[in-house]
Amino acid sequence: MRNIFPSDEPELELDPISIDRLTSYIEQALLQTPQLRQVWVSGEVSSASHHPSGIYFTLKDKVGRAALPAVVWKSQISELETKPQVGMEVLAFGKISVYAPHGKYQFQVQQVLGLGEGLQALKLQRLRQRLAVEGLFDPQRKRTLPIQPQTIAVVTSATAAAWGDIQRMLRSRYAGVLVLLAPATVQGEMAPHSIERAIERVVRDGRAEVLILARGGGATEDLSCFNSEVVVRAIAECPIPVVTGIGHERDESLADLAADVSTATPTTAAAIVVPDLEDVVAEHLARIDRLRATMQTISIDLQSQLSQLRMRCERIKPDRTLDLEFDRLDLLQQRLRVAMSARLAAARQQQLRLAQRSQALDPRLVLQRGYSLVRQQGAIVRDSASLVVGEELSIELGRGRAKVRIIAVEHGKKAAVEL
């Protein structure tokens, strides 16, 4: 037999191990390495195939030539945020293991995220879980809104359409409410701290009974400030109820979860915080009717009891004690009539005040008193900032209409108070 070792080297003592033992040794070494038991790997999916046992795919390094065989077992597929597809850049989480039959290592994947948006989604999910553990989203923290608030604060951009939408809705439903504007930046890197400072100004002012945090619709990245921890904590720590009206319906922001009430748009938020004046009048009239019916029922019941008592007394010997009881019943009945009459009179006075207020808000009566409505392309003009010299406007009077042309514009005071 030919010597397989060079003559100038000492003979080695052979102690071979089986391939199975070697593979097992390598597998144990991988499992004992913490960095390989839970690892995030980024790469491009260069191949993918579906099998009864799971999804087999290959991750390729975009810069180098290295490739990593990966598998998602069937039981794990339903948990994936993103299913791997060829050409997709992904962020995959899992562990490195050994596939003994082929003597190869492979990546056993537990989660797949699209690179970029997927990473942001992961960060948002972790923040949401952490704040939820603190109890900032608990239903028990939610406060009820005041029924008829007289002062409302709005945190939004002073130049945004959302601010105009909120004012129009408040005026149409419950004119006369005081609106405080706390202007804030609602997009970009500076937005979270700007919103936080605006909420703090509302709290320091102390007049508002409810706060609306609003922004119109936009791209997902434009609304990212409402997922900021700074904004969530400012809402959670606000001592007055907070209503969000953030213009997106696809997802629920963390600000929505922390608010006492969340709505899909600024207009809806404004509609929720105040009642409709017509509904208030109708409810009050219904209360008066119920009070009148109750008074009538009580009066009839007392008359019946008194009549029965008199009939019983007529059949027995007169007694001074019975006379005193009659006197007491008469006195109680008289007091009841006085009390119920007073409550009914107060209710009628409130009804009159509400009717007068509702009548005063009727735009037709306002026009008859000598005022007019100015329309710009059919819409009512509420702010001189939208007017342009030379533009043609329509004037609606108590009787008839007229066309006018603007020759000058003067900007007056704002309709709302700015904090």
Interval 282-336: pLDDT, tens: 676 777 777 777 777 777 777 777 777 777 766 655 555 656 666 777 777 777 7
AA letter at 128: R
Among 161-175, 308-322, 370-384, where is mean pLDDT lowest? 308-322
SS3 140: helix
CA distance 411 to 72: 65
Q: What is the pLDDT of residue 1?
A: 47
Radius of gyration over alpha carbons of the chain, in Å?
38
The per-residue pLDDT for range 86-119, each reduced to its tens digit, is: 888 888 999 888 888 888 888 999 998 887 666 6
The per-residue pLDDT for range 28-66, each reduced to its tens digit, is: 887 777 778 888 888 889 899 999 999 999 999 877 778
Residue 301's contacts (CB-CB under 8 Å, 6 or more residues apart) are none
pLDDT for 6 beyond 60:
no
pLDDT for 372 beyond 80:
no
| Residues forming a β-bridge with 339 | none
The per-residue pLDDT for range 223-254, each reduced to its tens digit, is: 889 999 999 999 999 999 999 999 765 568 99
Listed in sequence order, the DSSP H helices in 175-319 are 191-205, 229-237, 254-258, 266-273, 277-314
Both tokens of 241, joined, read 């109820």
Q: What is the pLDDT of residue 221?
A: 74
Buried b (16+ CB within 10 A) or exposed e, 313-324: eeeeeeeeeeee
The per-residue pLDDT for range 173-231, each reduced to its tens digit, is: 887 789 999 999 999 889 999 999 999 999 999 999 999 999 987 777 778 899 999 99
DSSP string for 200-241: HHHHHH---SEEEEEE----GGGGGGGG-HHHHHHHHH-SS-
- Of 232, 212, 195, the closest CA to residue 149 belongs to 212
